[in-house]
Structure 1
Amino acid sequence: MVKIFIGGLADNIQEMDLAIFVSLHGKIETIKVVRDRATGKCKGYAFIELLSLADAKNIISMLNGETFKGNVITVKLCEEEAPKKTFKPKPSGQSQGQNVKNKRPRVQR
């Protein structure tokens, strides 16, 4: 999947309006308008996922800098997210050649 960012959206934007506007230039898989939890108003940006990089490039070239609902929008390809680090415990014991410090037992007070 290819993800694009759309910024500069009005606070009263609806997903369907944005989907119709963007889908004229490429096939949309998912759309996520980012909203304020308290008010439900759009924070001014959205993310759209597409299957094709060609569709993403077409949408970017056609819509970046255009006016939508009275606002000039920014459309760009999202940066690849760094993979999330997962916790991997270090192997314990002397067999791994590591110095293992013995912890003192906790004292109940």
Structure 2
Amino acid sequence: MSKSIYVGNLPWSATEEEVANLFAEHGTVQSVKLVTDRETGRARGFGFVEMDDATATAAVEALDNSNFGGRTLRVNEARPRTPRAPRM
């Protein structure tokens, strides 16, 4: 089973490959998705990493409040997405 991990306060220059390499030090990374602005395509400074349950917890503990690209990362287990009300 896999677990989704929220990664915040990423440098805007970070790539999915760099984030995957960072997390790979703690286990097998299944996927990385960095969130970008719909209109500009620029990175928004956060993303999600999918890892298996066994290594995800260790990665969260090891990487939360660590330095990456000159920024202090915020890493925790992702919460389920809540549905939004439709725009009018």
Do the two structures share a fold, i.e. TM-score over 0.5? Answer: yes
* Structure 2 runs not aligned, ≥5 long: 84-88
Give the drift of 1:79: 1.7
Range with bigger deviation, 35-44 or 61-70: 35-44
Report percent identity of matched pairs.
27
Counterpart residue type for residue 50 of structure 2? E
Contact 1:10-1:71 at 8 Å conserved across structures: yes
Determine the structure 1 residue equivalent to 2:86: none
Relative to its length, the structure with more strand (as a share) is 2
Q: What CA deviation, in whole Å up to 9, does each residue of 1:27-64 have, x standing for no partner? A: 111110001133322101010111x2121101001100
The structure number with the bigger radius of gyration is 1
- Relative contact order (alpha carbons < 8 A, sep ≥ 6): 1 or 2 greater? 2
Counterpart residue type for residue 18 of structure 1? V
Counterpart residue type for residue 47 of structure 2? A
Give the drift of 1:13: 1.1
Determine the structure 1 residue equivalent to 2:45: 44
Determine the structure 2 residue equivalent to 1:22: 23
Runs (4+) of structure 1 exceeding 6 A deviation are: none
Contact 2:34-2:48 at 8 Å conserved across structures: yes
Counterpart residue type for residue 41 of structure 1? R
Rounded Cα–Cα distance in structure 1 between residues aligned with 2:43 and 2:81: 23
* Structure 1 runs not aligned, ≥5 long: 85-109
State the TM-score, normalized to the length of structure 1: 0.69
Give the drift of 1:11: 1.1
Is residue 64 of structure 1 aligned with residue 38 of structure 2? no
Contact 2:20-2:31 at 8 Å conserved across structures: no
